[in-house]
Structures are given as structure tokens and as C-alpha cells.
Structure 1
Amino acid sequence: MSQDPVHIITIAKVIQTAVAPVFLITGIAATLGVLSNRLARITDRARLLDRKLNNSQDDSLASSLTQEMRALLKRSRCIHIAFSMSVLSALLVCAVVMMMFISHLYTMPLSVTISSCFIGAMILLIGAFLALLAEVFLATRSMRRGMIFKDIQ
């Protein structure tokens, strides 16, 4: 029996093993979409507030707008952190898939490296979700302080 069929079967098993991390990359991509949308909303709101601030003659209104701008800046920092960590996580997952194939093709023992990269990807993803959660907390705190719903009793 030739080695080619055995080699093809083992490559097929490597591909099957690599499918799970590829689904993780898809999930990270969806998270990046959410983060992009949240950042776009923050940016739009900041631009609107900046226009209002530049046209305002009222000191109390300017103070209120400045306070909301500071809150938006904090929120945008959280989104930036979450976005960066998500992208780094996706890159590590891509590296895991690549190393799986390299390990198989060149019979290199990369299991510790692959495991370390995957653990790193999960740590970064956890950090990204925590940063997203912090941004959501900041957004709801702004609402509770009355910046958005101050006229509703």
C-alpha cells in the first residue's frame, strides 16, 4: 500500500481538527462587527456634541456637553482596547491553524507552542469581552446619570 492514501487521510484529520479554530475566527469577526458599530455610534455622538459645544454660548450647557464628551472618550478607549485584543486573538488563532499544518507536514513537535498560542488567544478574547463589558457599564452609567434621559421622570 502506498503512503499517499495514508498521507491524505492524515491531512484530512488535520483539516478536521483545524475547523474548530476557524469557527472561532468567525465568532471573533462577529464581535469585531459589534465593536465597530459601537465605536461608530460613539464617534457620531461625539461629532454632534462637538458641533453643539462649538456653537454654544451657555456655560452650563457647555459644561454638560463637556462631561458627556469625557464619558464618550472613556467609552471609545474601552472599545479600542476590545478591538485590539480581539484582532490579536484572531491572529493567534490563525497562527494556531497554520502551526497545526506545519507541525503535520514537517513532523515538528509544536504542541506546546500551539497550546500556548491558543491559551493566549483565549486570554486576549476574555480581555476583549471584559473591555466591551466595561464600555457597556460606562454607557448605562451615563444614562443613569441623566445625560440621555434627564427629561423622563
Structure 2
Amino acid sequence: MNTDVVNILTMAKVIQTAVAPVFLITGIAATLGVLSNRLARITDRARTLERKLKTSSDEDFNHSLTTELRALLKRARYIHLAFSLSVLSATLVSAVVMLLFMANIQSVNLGTAIALCFMIAMVLLILAFISLLGEVYLAFRSMRRGMIFADIDLGE
């Protein structure tokens, strides 16, 4: 068989192998969209509370606003951590794709580096999801404590 044909077939196989990580990058991008929306909502709520805090002279009301602002800051930290971990994960998955092609073009065994990058990317993604779960827990806890829906009778 012609060497060019073998190279083309080998490259086609590398492209097939690289498709799965590319889909993973797409999934991470969707996660980043979710995280961005959550952070935007937290930021909008914090700005609203800060405006109320500046205009109010009621001590008790200001204390409740400050408490909610602290909770929002904690939530924003969790989202920021999840966002950062997700971006690092996507970067490593991109490195996996690049290393797959480099290994083929240079005829170098980069299997260990590829596996290591992929495993670290998965650990980072797991940590990002745990951080997101922490933020959701904080949001739910804030709601349960009455900071949100305080005036609604839930019939309990």
C-alpha cells in the first residue's frame, strides 16, 4: 500500500480518536454557560442589595441585607472556583487533542502524557461539579433560611 494512503488512513484514525475529547469540550462549554448565568444572577442580586443598603437607614433591614450579601459572596466564590476548574479542564482536554495529533505526526509515543492530561482534566471537571453542587447547596440553604421568599406562606 502507498505510504500516503497509510498516512491518510492513520490521520483519519487520529481524527476519529480526537472526536470524543472534542465533544467533551462542547459539554464543558455548556457547563461554562450555566456557570456564567448563575454568576450573572448572583451579581445582579448583589448590586440590587447594595443599592438598597446605601439608601436604607433601618438597622435590622441593613443587617439582613448584609447577611444576604455575604451569602451571595460565598456563592460567587463557589461559582468562580467551578468556572476556573472547568476552564482548566477544557484546556487540558484541548491539550489531549493536540498531543494525539503530535504523536501521530512526529511518530512519538505520547500515550502517558495523553492519559495523564485526560485524567487530570477529569479530576478538575469532577471538582468543578462538586463546587457547583456546593453553590447550589448554599442557594438552597439561603432560601430555606428565609432570605428568599420570606414573605410567602408555604403552608407549613
Query: What TM-score, normalized to structure 1?
Result: 0.99
The Cα of 1:150 is off from its aligned counterpart by: 1.1
Taking the TM superposition and a 5 Å limit, the aligned residue runs for 1:79-98 are: 79-98=79-98
Deviations 1:107-136 (Å, cap 9, x if unpaired)?
111000000000000000000000000000
Q: Secondary structure at the match of 1:18?
A: helix
Unaligned runs of 5+ in 2: none
Deviations 1:56-108 (Å, cap 9, x if unpaired)?
10000000000000000000000000000000000000000000000011111
1:33 aligns with 2:33: yes
Q: Secondary structure at the match of 1:73?
A: helix
Residue type of the alignment partner of 2:32 = L
1:67 aligns with 2:67: yes
Residue type of the alignment partner of 2:114 = I
Q: Percent identity?
A: 67
Q: Could you tell me how far apart the structure 1 residues matched to 2:108 and 2:82 are?
A: 34
CA RMSD of aligned residues (A): 0.5
The Cα of 1:26 is off from its aligned counterpart by: 0.1
Q: Could you tell me how far apart the structure 2 residues matched to 1:82 and 1:27 are?
A: 14
Alignment match, 1:46: 46
Taking the TM superposition and a 5 Å limit, the aligned residue runs for 1:7-22 are: 7-22=7-22
Q: Secondary structure at the match of 1:135?
A: helix
Alignment match, 2:124: 124
Corresponding pairs, count: 153
Unaligned runs of 5+ in 1: none
Q: Secondary structure at the match of 2:37?
A: helix
The Cα of 1:152 is off from its aligned counterpart by: 1.6
Residue type of the alignment partner of 1:34 = V
Q: Could you tell me how far apart the structure 1 residues matched to 2:143 and 2:13 are?
A: 51
Alignment match, 1:108: 108
Alignment match, 1:135: 135
- Dislocated runs of 4+, deviation >3 Å: none
The Cα of 1:151 is off from its aligned counterpart by: 1.2
Alignment match, 1:2: 2
Q: Could you tell me how far apart the structure 2 residues matched to 1:2 and 1:31 are?
A: 44
